[in-house]
Structure 1
């Protein structure tokens, strides 16, 4: 086990110390500039593409369902436990860097989901299928690399990330109900088995059932959580400006903190970027898998890109900030012994009394459970790409349920380390792919915006763009 931990530690050092902390920011800046600050200047288009239609055709799910499934995966432990970890290790300034990652990541999310729509096709079950594996294989002509990405996605989202979510549910349950130390292990096991059974009920219905659950549960859970944060801010309205300005000042070492200015800035940036990506998933290559399954409205690849960019905004700028503000406004001191879910529960206890920890436990359940089913939908797409068929999907479903049980009884640091390594490999492959296909993203974006500027509803016809036609399904896009 020590040798395995050393390997995981080495991979995380490479991915997070060198490749991704700079790569994610660089790619986000690249797409922000190349697409003309699309995430800022065309924010209204994101809302229009989500609300333009709430029905899908028989081959896909609706844009709103695609948004809620991606939010189901995005809005998870990263928003509650991850934000608390970032605050503990990086100070308030880490939240600023989560904002930066999100704003830049909106452009990255737009690019990857637009490509996923363009290169989607019909799967063996008739549903739309696609994602990074599709645009790596058909767009770049690199099927071997697409297969590597698919395997990494199955490991990360089908297995490891679901263990992370199950771990958070079990930890929150043990804390909220005051389980004694001698009973914690058995309690976590019981929680894991019950959670696995509930997961099975949903995922055995496939992506359409996951989408139906997500479109009702996700808006309710996110709305309730944001409402709690609004109440806390109203009750502490005189302190809110100072908290928000402190986040910005701390990010640049302009506010006194432990560890010296240079160390504080580095810690804030590293932890903000890492937890920001873990939460909003922009550039990771995950959300494009469900973006490809959607029937876009209007019928253009870019419209689903706008939808998924909005998902990054909701996840980080709204939900993560809500957690951070509730913690920073509470009379609690983050420490090695009080971090993660426990820190968030302590903060809510300070605000709402004994109801606080119970509220966090319920929020963790909803956030993490919907993440499990959302993550599964991504992994199913990867299994279909690899030709797994019904038997492969069955094995995946059983494996997901097994990992939920395993994750419920493991130490949180162990599963976080595995998650970081898996995510790092996926994101590295995906970032290279979308940069190589950035010219195609520009063509699609110009086509969409020119039609919108002309006052007509954008529609995409691949026959008008022979330069990007290879690998694109003409039946879908004509």
Structure 2
């Protein structure tokens, strides 16, 4: 075990510890420039998906909105509640500014990786679509890179399907035990049963649950934060000034000054919104849309919601309260957010937060499961293997919830996510010219007066596209 921990520790150092975060930032900036600041030019268009105008007329298909909500449900989690509080504690208020910055850059990266996943998606016998970085490798780079697709798939299953689901179960059980006194075994059993019912229903049941759970949890948390902002409206300008001043080192809230703020903001922001890590494209590929860029734009919105909306909510809850003291001894992330809510709204707020954490973690569990399932189909199409994975993940959720120290076993999650990110960045860089061709086609149709551009496979005869997935005709509605 010690040898394995050492090996994975080295892998983690070679990815997260060395150059991965700067590379993600630089690549995101590079993509932003090459695409002509696409996240800003299409910003208004991102919100069209929420109105329902882009919904498919096929009741059996996954809509762009459904795929968005599944992605938001997966991105939004402990990182938005605990991670932001940790970033502020270790990096000062300035960390929030750099979280905003990396979100704006990450929106462009997410657009590219999700558009590629859409382009190379494959229609399944059931009529559903499957795609993601692994299939982008197979059909975009060629069969000779199948080994790279397998590496990606294995890492995705291990990191998200197993490791992160154990952590989510542990987070929920800990919060329920601390705030409500609910035994970990009870919470673990409830999580496992509900998760099992949903994951055995496949992507359609996952999408339907996300369509209900995600708006409730996100809007509920945002409403609490807005209430706190209104109650402290006169202090908001001062907090915003502190965020900017600390971000550029004009005021040092913690040791390390601007360097600590920059490091914590970028790291926590990337962990929260997952832009460039190669996870969200797996869900983005399930949507039935007219043009790959359309879903890329939609997925940019999920990064915006995750970091600009939800993370800012946590930042305001913490910075407008009296619990956080710059330079003081660090408080556990969840505890800092929870204590700050109680400071603002009273004891009832800790119970509301526990409910939010339950919904956040639950949506992440079903999202992580689908990532694992989708990765498994790259390795094998066996239904038996898929059912085994479902049972294993249900067991992992229960184990993570019931044993406080059980998650220490999953020391491989972060290093393997680092490998995932490296593979995904290679794919993005190699296929970026293809995505730029898609973007040119999308913009040309808009310029010609086409309100909702459609991909015609005949315009891209050199690409290995599933023609049954892209008929060149817009779905009705």
Give, in whole Å, the separation in 2 of the partners of 1:258 and 1:282: 28
Is 1:394 the equivalent of 2:387?
A: yes
CA shift digits 1:333-357 (9 cap, x unpaired): 3666622211111111111111121
- Which residue number corresponds to residue 306 of structure 1? 297
What's the TM-score once normalised by structure 1's chain length?
0.93
- Which residue number corresponds to residue 189 of structure 1? 185
CA offset at residue 388 of structure 1?
3.8
From 369, 374, 387, the equivalent of 2:367 is 374
Q: Quickly say closer, same or farther: Cα 1:382–1:108, change in 2 above 3 A.
A: same
Is 1:459 the equivalent of 2:462?
A: no
CA shift digits 1:169-194 (9 cap, x unpaired): 11211221257xxxxxxx22332222
From 210, 216, 222, the equivalent of 2:206 is 210
CA shift digits 1:361-408 (9 cap, x unpaired): 111000110111111112111111212421111111111112212222
Instruction: Report SS of the residue matched to 2:351.
Output: helix
- Which residue number corresponds to residue 429 of structure 2? 435
CA offset at residue 12 of structure 1?
2.6
- Which residue number corresponds to residue 46 of structure 2? 46
Once the two structures are superposed, the pairs formed by residues 27-176 of structure 1 within 5 Å of their partners are: 27-51=27-51, 52-55=53-56, 57=58, 60-141=61-142, 142-176=145-179
Q: Quickly say closer, same or farther: Cα 1:124–1:161, change in 2 above 3 A.
A: farther
Contact 1:80 1:344 in 2 (8 A): yes
Give, in whole Å, the separation in 1 of the partners of 2:242 and 2:70: 34
CA offset at residue 34 of structure 1?
0.5
From 300, 307, 311, the equivalent of 1:316 is 307
From 347, 354, 358, the equivalent of 2:347 is 354
What's the TM-score once normalised by structure 2's chain length?
0.93
Once the two structures are superposed, the pairs formed by residues 219-234 of structure 1 within 5 Å of their partners are: 219-234=215-230
Q: Quickly say closer, same or farther: Cα 1:271–1:119, change in 2 above 3 A.
A: same
- Which residue number corresponds to residue 25 of structure 1? 25
Give, in whole Å, the separation in 1 of the partners of 2:59 and 2:279: 23
Contact 1:19 1:428 in 2 (8 A): no
Give, in whole Å, the separation in 2 of the partners of 1:417 and 1:253: 34
Contact 1:164 1:419 in 2 (8 A): no
Give, in whole Å, the separation in 1 of the partners of 2:211 and 2:315: 26
Give, in whole Å, the separation in 2 of the partners of 1:424 and 1:195: 28
Is 1:249 the equivalent of 2:245?
A: yes
CA offset at residue 465 of structure 1?
2.1
- Which residue number corresponds to residue 475 of structure 2? none
Q: Quickly say closer, same or farther: Cα 1:243–1:6, change in 2 above 3 A.
A: farther
Instruction: Report SS of the residue matched to 1:437.
Output: helix
Instruction: Report SS of the residue matched to 1:326.
Output: helix
Contact 1:229 1:325 in 2 (8 A): yes
Q: Quickly say closer, same or farther: Cα 1:418–1:321, change in 2 above 3 A.
A: farther
Contact 1:291 1:308 in 2 (8 A): yes
- Which residue number corresponds to residue 474 of structure 2? none
RMSD: 1.9
CA shift digits 1:45-95 (9 cap, x unpaired): 212245322346366301110000001101111111111222222222221
- Which residue number corresponds to residue 331 of structure 1? 322
Q: Quickly say closer, same or farther: Cα 1:193–1:214, change in 2 above 3 A.
A: same
Give, in whole Å, the separation in 2 of the partners of 1:29 and 1:43: 17
Structure 2: runs of 5 or more not aligned: 472-477
CA shift digits 1:249-282 (9 cap, x unpaired): 21222112232xxx23232222222221221111
Q: Quickly say closer, same or farther: Cα 1:120–1:192, change in 2 above 3 A.
A: same
Give, in whole Å, the separation in 2 of the partners of 1:417 and 1:273: 22
- Which residue number corresponds to residue 184 of structure 1? none
CA offset at residue 416 of structure 1?
8.7
Once the two structures are superposed, the pairs formed by residues 416-427 of structure 1 within 5 Å of their partners are: 418-427=412-421
Give, in whole Å, the separation in 2 of the partners of 1:72 and 1:300: 23
Contact 1:172 1:342 in 2 (8 A): no
- Which residue number corresponds to residue 450 of structure 1? 444
